[in-house]
Structure 1
Amino acid sequence: MTRVFKIGMFLLAMLCTAGAQLCAQTTLAIKDGEKWYGGAVNEAHLMPFKDGYSYDMYGDTRGNQAVPLLISTKGRFIWSEEPFKFAFEKNTLIISNAKGALTIDSAAKDLRGAFSNAAKRFFPSKGKLPDTLLFSKPQYNTWIELVYNQNQKDILSYARAIIGTGFPPGVIMIDDNWADYYGRFDFRADRFSNAAAMVDTLHSLGFKVMLWVSPFMSADTEVGRELLDKKLLLFDNEGDANKPWDRATKPAIISWWNGYSSVLDFTNPGAMAWFRGRLDHMVSTYHLDGFKFDAGDADFYPANGLSFKKATPNEHSRLWGEIGLHYPLNEYRAMWKMGGEPLVQRLRDKKHNWEDLQKLIPHLTTAGLLGYQFTCPDMIGGGEYGSFIGRDKLDEQLVVRSAQCSALMPMMQFSVAPWRVLSKQNLAAVKKAVEIRARYTPYLMQLVKQAAKTGEPIARSMEYEFPNQGFATVQGQFMLGDKYLVAPMIAAGNTKTVYLPKGTWKSDLGKTVKGPAKIETEVAADRLPVFELIKN
């Protein structure tokens, strides 16, 4: 970069941070060989971005985590406290529709440096951890096995089967439809005869227990009417964008995957206090350990929404994240601008197919680049229930490879019961993946603690760990810290192409390989290829 260009970039950054009105549209020339990442985690398989890509972050987090951050392999980053639109056109990056000031920084030389500079300034790690059981043992979610039929008998049967088939206990998550309706914070009596006793039993089996919750409230109910009367809901402006909040009377009705509901307005401290009070009631009454916070997507806060304090849809999503800070055992799927916080983020539901399995690595490593280090790669075999409907039999190889792919990621989460859907041989392969994780858990926990202090990713893209060595588009492998290259089989078959950077590497098979090298390796049904860097 010439000195003149540096000064120009500096002035542009100063202008942008001085006032958003000066940045109605900002155009940056893309450097030779420069690759860009960022924005939305669920778009990571499309990264580095190609010509023609565009995305407007306002009111849209792509059903997962998002951050108003773009970072490049040449050390540049773009940040705003508010959402913006960006597009790649003919070797230029165009920023438009910015809702706040932009910061443009060119101080670093590579992707790692760009991330480090952005994180230190805008989302520094808070030095706190979520509950470490989420990392040290596998997680188990009742969704795929029970769907909307969550009930005491089958939850206990699922937990006992986990232990009975040789899997270690960890966190168990009770999913949706445990209450009579949304907003009623007690277990439904027709399915849970003694929920507190159920949770106590789960504890005695070695589990900690999480419960699914959302910000949605069933409108035509006793609780819904109470919340409306107290004005703790998001209101409908009824077509009047200038309507003051104190004159609002009609709640906004949100269309979501389970129908039509009102939604709490967390810009109102009263709504935050009410919701936390109900969660604490569930903890004290039923002995729960934490919560799975679902929904909270920016697109569930519509343009006609009228809140206690003016807020973008993205800010509503961020406020949903603040609740989890009070519960170390937490999990989110949708999030905005909460990097560096002790919040667990789960990748968006993946379908039961190879295409979605191949998205896990780029999505997870990009989450790390956006400050979300404590991320779970969705449920093993897929968590998108629609892709299971009508199947007489699952793809057993896919379930096995999915378990192997998750094994050395920050967390691994089961839902579909491996002992129910797999042959004896394939079940053994999945259990071996869990055993592999156990062997690496001490190192993994070191990385988890380090991430809480420094913000550095646990699972790292190849370009992050080995900048400017030609790995910007490699998506089929990742680094666990700076020591282990993990290359799971994520396609049908048993042959894997692995790209080794400079250095001396020792494979899980005991062979030593000198890098840089491109190798083809046979991957047996129960093998997870791992290469240890033993000499730089």
Structure 2
Amino acid sequence: MKFSDGNWLTLPGFEIMSPIQAYDPKAREKTVSVYASPRDLTPRWAMLDLPMLTVGLSSPMEDVIRVSVHHHKGGAPLKPEFRIHEQEDHEVQTGLGDEEVWLQSGRLKASIRRSGDWGMSFYQEGKRITGSGLKALAHITRADGQTFMREQLDLGVGEHIYGLGERFTPFVKNGQSLDIWNRDGGTGTEQAYKNIPFYLSSKGYGVFVNNPGLVSFEVGSEKVSKVQFSVEGEKLEYFIVGGETLRHVLQNYTALTGKPALPPAWTFGLWLTTSFTTDYDEQTVMSFVDGMKERDLPLHVFHFDCFWMKPLHWTDFEWDEAVFPDPGGMLGRLKEKGLKICVWINPYISEQSRLFDEGAENGYFLKNKDGGVWQWDRWQPGMAIVDFTNPNACRWYGDYLRELVDMGVDSFKTDFGERIPTDAVYFDGSDPHRMHNYYTQLYNQTVFEVLEEKLGKGEAALFARSATAGGQQFPVHWGGDCTANYDSMAESLRGGLSLGLSGFGFWSHDIGGFESTAPADVYMRWAAFGLLSSHSRLHGNQSYRVPWLFGEEAVEVVRFFTKLKCRLMPYLFGAAVDASVLGLPLMRAMVLEFPEDPGCRTLDRQYMLGDSLLVAPVFSEDGQVEFYLPPGTWTSFLTGEKVQGGRWMSEQHGFMSLPLYVRPGSIIPVGAVDDKPDYDFADGVELHIFAPEEGKEMRVTVPDLKGKPALQAKAVLAGGELSVRVEAAGTSDWKAVLPGVSRVASVKGGRAASTERGMIVAPDAGAAELTIYL
């Protein structure tokens, strides 16, 4: 929200009160507080009839500083609140000097000026990163009596801002006005399904506004040298998040708000759906499944979209018997084919649903102020909304999910969760404005916990559309309703990269686009992109997405990239473990891995898949693609060709290819299985060693299906000798592969053979170490 009229005036209808000086600063053991006065308090009379802000500094964990500001603190507590994970025993230092009062946590320091004009500065390793100056912090009153709290943090020369959720607008947020307010707007608008009040700065810090309701951001769009954020009410709290690198900043933010769970390995395979409004029954479903097998197209999850239930009855969790007369038997037959099952749900209950009367009688729905059920006719006739602040409603809703899990369902697509009213009454008294965004957290958490309860820890996975801060704990999320063209493919990637920089580890999108039917070239390019994404799903609206409907070449493309992803699972699942432990996204914006490289700061058409693989999707029919390689010797994973980075590249690719480059000094473990994603990753694994650098140790861990280390390898090049050491938990067979190397001088402790893929070196029986003389 904007309050200013240019640099000097205030917009009509607003009154702005900003502090000009700090008064009565206090530095206690682990906290700092000051009064922020809008006038000079030197004369005694100035202390009368005085509005005042109170500013407090504290630290919930190392390298994070909390800033709490209030005008009037006596208001009733508002629910809900984000859950903040605090550390108990970390060092916090405070001090009070002649010029400043300060608080330090780890490498971060916050300082409030004691004399002269109001000013608050934040430092990292002694260097100022941002701050709040005169007329920045403010309490604002609108003519109708509504109040707001505002902060403006400095935006430096050349500083870029990222994140704020899954946003499809330009990747760098500078110049944008952004409201943190979940909406069902598709991927082609400024609206977003997943709004997160957290941003990352290219200067190496993050800012999290701790308010689950509407937070308005003006990123250099009201004051061009400021990031402004404002909330309704009398209080504002935000966190400055520091870290050694942008990766560490994201790790600290996710430690504060919650780490992503590790999805089970089977979820990384290919998902196929019925699509949305298409006609289908068991015969249709089986024709898709059998058609995939006949064409040697590995398939791992089958998803039933909305019409597994009767039209107008959503949601009632009851199979449409006219279309699926034997649902239990059908699911069993699909399971016999080795498939996992996902079904579509949402938290809305139509009047036609068998659940409506039961839910209304027991108080399980959002209510009107008169005590009746809150209803409207959008999406479903007479639709009610489940109240997940009511524990009994959660249990009731979950019991229907438990029945489906017992029938054979493995996962739920938790659709919607954005169209949440602000005039409803909640069971626990939650403020409906704060619940608008937060509702999805309770919805997804309820479903996720049912799956954990029924299937066990480590086996739960959603396919969720809406989210708020902390929602990363309940993966996977997908990008929502995109269109079947290259523009929408690119905007989907922008959204995914922004979401990754907002703390979300796992993300997917509708391969081929949701709206309309893609031409064959778009479908094939999107398939390559989708199968080199975190999670991969073929899904659409009014037409099916099975590959043969797009031509035989499309079948070959989907087959090639599905098998490639399966073989990459030892690497991908290892990266997924890192994502869950560290809070890093599996699909990473280039700036996250290369923050020191100015060439990476605006890139949004390529990404790192884990630490070591660079993917540049092709967004054109002719296969021409431009991308940037950071400095170093990069190697094409598909061809073995070595390329010197530090420059832009332009390449032409057929449908069976795209730029897929390996970072210098990487070990990529490649599996022995290409038809499924869940197998013994260490058994028969090939350790592909790329561009080793003299004296730099390379490491990789191959996990088991539970995410525990199954095989650990390290390699180091010294004096022309490449030493490879492997420690395996079992008796797993392994090989070292040197792409692009046709011969080695000799091998100690193993044997070597030259192949088209390069030199393959296998250890002698029982050997755990090789020395290769290059």
Which TM bucket (shorter chain)?
A: 0.7 to 0.9
Partner of 2:80: none
Q: Separation in 2 of the partners of 1:20 and 1:67? A: 22
Q: Separation in 2 of the partners of 1:513 and 1:13? A: 53
- Match runs of 1:15-26 below 5 Å: 17-21=67-71, 24-26=149-151
Partner of 2:23: none
Q: Separation in 1 of the partners of 2:198 and 2:627? A: 30
CA deviations over 1:237-262 (Å, ceiling 9, x no partner): 2xxxxxxxxxx432212454455511
1:167 aligns with 2:217: no
Q: Separation in 2 of the partners of 1:107 and 1:210? A: 39
1:91 aligns with 2:141: no
Deviates more, 1:482-491 or 1:428-437: 428-437
Question: Is the alpha carbon distance of 1:270 and 1:148 closer, same or farther for their aligned partners in structure 2, counting shifts above 3 Å?
Answer: farther
Question: Is the alpha carbon distance of 1:173 and 1:63 closer, same or farther for their aligned partners in structure 2, counting shifts above 3 Å?
Answer: farther
Question: Is the alpha carbon distance of 1:221 and 1:479 closer, same or farther for their aligned partners in structure 2, counting shifts above 3 Å?
Answer: closer
Find 1:236's aligned residue among 355, 361, 368.
Answer: 368
Find 1:157's aligned residue among 269, 273, 287.
Answer: 287
The structure with higher relative contact order (CA 8 Å, sep 6+) is: 1
Q: Separation in 2 of the partners of 1:342 and 1:183? A: 21
Question: Is the alpha carbon distance of 1:20 and 1:344 closer, same or farther for their aligned partners in structure 2, counting shifts above 3 Å?
Answer: farther
Partner of 1:408: 532
CA deviations over 1:121-179 (Å, ceiling 9, x no partner): 23334xx42232111x21111115xx253422222222222222221121111110222
CA deviations over 1:391-442 (Å, ceiling 9, x no partner): xxx4110000000111211111113434342222232123222222223222
* Contact 2:350–2:381 (CA under 8 A) maintained in structure 1: no
Partner of 1:296: 417
Find 2:587's aligned residue among 459, 465, 471.
Answer: 459
Partner of 1:81: 210
Partner of 1:515: 645
1:334 aligns with 2:334: no
Deviation of 1:114 (Å): 2.7
Partner of 1:324: 447
Deviation of 1:525 (Å): 2.2
Find 2:631's aligned residue among 502, 509, 513.
Answer: 502
Question: Is the alpha carbon distance of 1:293 and 1:45 closer, same or farther for their aligned partners in structure 2, counting shifts above 3 Å?
Answer: same
Question: Is the alpha carbon distance of 1:27 and 1:143 closer, same or farther for their aligned partners in structure 2, counting shifts above 3 Å?
Answer: same
Partner of 1:129: 262
Question: Is the alpha carbon distance of 1:454 and 1:510 closer, same or farther for their aligned partners in structure 2, counting shifts above 3 Å?
Answer: same
- Match runs of 1:80-119 below 5 Å: 80-82=209-211, 83=213, 84-88=215-219, 89=221, 90-97=224-231, 101-105=236-240, 107-108=242-243, 110-119=245-254
CA deviations over 1:196-244 (Å, ceiling 9, x no partner): 000000000110111111111012555312211111111122xxxxxxx
Deviation of 1:112 (Å): 2.7
Q: Separation in 2 of the partners of 1:183 and 1:124? A: 30
Q: Separation in 1 of the partners of 2:207 and 2:183? A: 18
Q: Secondary structure at the match of 1:367?
A: helix
Partner of 1:398: 522
Higher strand share: 2
Deviation of 1:365 (Å): 2.1
CA deviations over 1:362-407 (Å, ceiling 9, x no partner): 222222222221211x2210123xx24xxxxx41100000001112
Find 2:390's aligned residue among 268, 283, 295.
Answer: 268
Deviation of 1:509 (Å): 2.5
1:40 aligns with 2:40: no
Partner of 2:405: 283
- Match runs of 1:458-477 below 5 Å: 458-470=586-598, 471-477=600-606
One-letter code of the match for 1:458? L
Partner of 2:561: 433
% identity of equivalent residues: 21
Question: Is the alpha carbon distance of 1:454 and 1:235 closer, same or farther for their aligned partners in structure 2, counting shifts above 3 Å?
Answer: same
Q: Separation in 1 of the partners of 2:380 and 2:364? A: 21
Question: Which of 1 and 2 has greater Rg?
Answer: 2
Question: Is the alpha carbon distance of 1:28 and 1:13 closer, same or farther for their aligned partners in structure 2, counting shifts above 3 Å?
Answer: farther
Find 1:65's aligned residue among 191, 194, 200.
Answer: 194
Higher helix share: 1
1:190 aligns with 2:190: no
One-letter code of the match for 1:229? E
* Contact 2:445–2:474 (CA under 8 A) maintained in structure 1: no
Partner of 2:574: 446
In structure 2, the gaps of 5 or more residues are 1-26, 35-54, 59-65, 72-137, 140-148, 185-190, 452-459, 666-692, 694-774
1:532 aligns with 2:662: yes
Q: Separation in 2 of the partners of 1:479 and 1:58? A: 29
One-letter code of the match for 2:661? F
CA deviations over 1:15-52 (Å, ceiling 9, x no partner): 973345476110112011111112230x244221132x
Question: Is the alpha carbon distance of 1:20 and 1:481 closer, same or farther for their aligned partners in structure 2, counting shifts above 3 Å?
Answer: farther
One-letter code of the match for 1:513? V
* Contact 1:317–1:335 (CA under 8 A) maintained in structure 2: yes
Q: Separation in 1 of the partners of 2:349 and 2:239? A: 41
Q: Separation in 1 of the partners of 2:282 and 2:322? A: 10
Q: Secondary structure at the match of 2:646?
A: strand
Count of residues in Structure 1 that have an aligned counterpart in Structure 2: 501
Q: Separation in 1 of the partners of 2:553 and 2:409? A: 36
* Contact 1:506–1:533 (CA under 8 A) maintained in structure 2: yes
Superposition RMSD on alpha carbons, in Å? 2.4
* Contact 2:297–2:558 (CA under 8 A) maintained in structure 1: no
Q: Secondary structure at the match of 2:481?
A: coil
Question: Is the alpha carbon distance of 1:491 and 1:449 closer, same or farther for their aligned partners in structure 2, counting shifts above 3 Å?
Answer: same
Deviation of 1:515 (Å): 1.9
* Contact 1:112–1:465 (CA under 8 A) maintained in structure 2: yes
Deviation of 1:443 (Å): 0.5
- Match runs of 1:195-206 below 5 Å: 195-206=327-338
Deviates more, 1:196-205 or 1:431-440: 431-440
One-letter code of the match for 2:196? V
Partner of 2:75: none
* Contact 1:265–1:307 (CA under 8 A) maintained in structure 2: yes
Q: Separation in 1 of the partners of 2:155 and 2:611? A: 29
Deviation of 1:282 (Å): 1.9
One-letter code of the match for 1:432? F
Question: Is the alpha carbon distance of 1:406 and 1:59 closer, same or farther for their aligned partners in structure 2, counting shifts above 3 Å?
Answer: closer
* Contact 2:463–2:476 (CA under 8 A) maintained in structure 1: yes
* Contact 1:138–1:170 (CA under 8 A) maintained in structure 2: yes
Q: Separation in 2 of the partners of 1:72 and 1:13? A: 23
Deviation of 1:109 (Å): 6.0
One-letter code of the match for 1:510? G
Partner of 1:3: none
Deviation of 1:321 (Å): 1.5
One-letter code of the match for 2:513? G
CA deviations over 1:293-312 (Å, ceiling 9, x no partner): 11111xx2212111112142
Question: Is the alpha carbon distance of 1:501 and 1:20 closer, same or farther for their aligned partners in structure 2, counting shifts above 3 Å?
Answer: farther
Deviation of 1:264 (Å): 0.6
* Contact 1:69–1:80 (CA under 8 A) maintained in structure 2: yes
